[in-house]
Amino acid sequence: MEPFELIEKVNSLETFLDFLKALMLDKRDEDEKEKIEPSSPYDSGHNGWEHNDIASFLDAMHAGTKDNDFSKEPSWKNFAEIIYMGKIYE
C-alpha cells in the first residue's frame, strides 16, 4: 500500500510505524529507480519525492505544516500528515 493511502489508517503508534516503514520503503524504491533512470532536476522523482536531503525534507515539513490547518488536537494521523509533507510539499 502507498504511504499516502496509509495516512487515512493511522490511528495508533502501531499504524504510525507502519506508515513510516512504507514511506521509507517508498524512498528507497525511488532512489533505486533514480540510479537507473535519473529524473529531471525540475521534476519530482519517480515516486513523487520533491526532496532528497534531510534539510529540504524538514523545510517542506515545516512549510507544509504552517500552510495547512493542523491547529486541532494532535494525533498519530496528524504526525503522519506532517511527515508526508516532507515528501510532497514544494
SS (H, E, C) 29-41: HHHHHHHHCCCCC
**Which of 22, 2, 23, 89 has its CA nearest to residue 50?**
89
Which pLDDT score is estimated for 68? 87
Extract the residue ranges of the chain whose pLDDT is less than 50. Answer: none
Which pLDDT score is estimated for 21? 97
At residue 56's C-alpha, the angle toward residues 47 and 82, to 5°, is 70
Which pLDDT score is estimated for 28? 97
Which pLDDT score is estimated for 70? 77
Which pLDDT score is estimated for 76? 94
The type of residue at 23 is: L
Contact 57, 23 (CB under 8 A): no
Length of the chain: 90
Domain limits, the chain: 10-38+45-88
Which pLDDT score is estimated for 33? 97
Q: Is the pTM of this model over 0.85?
A: yes
Which pLDDT score is estimated for 89? 93
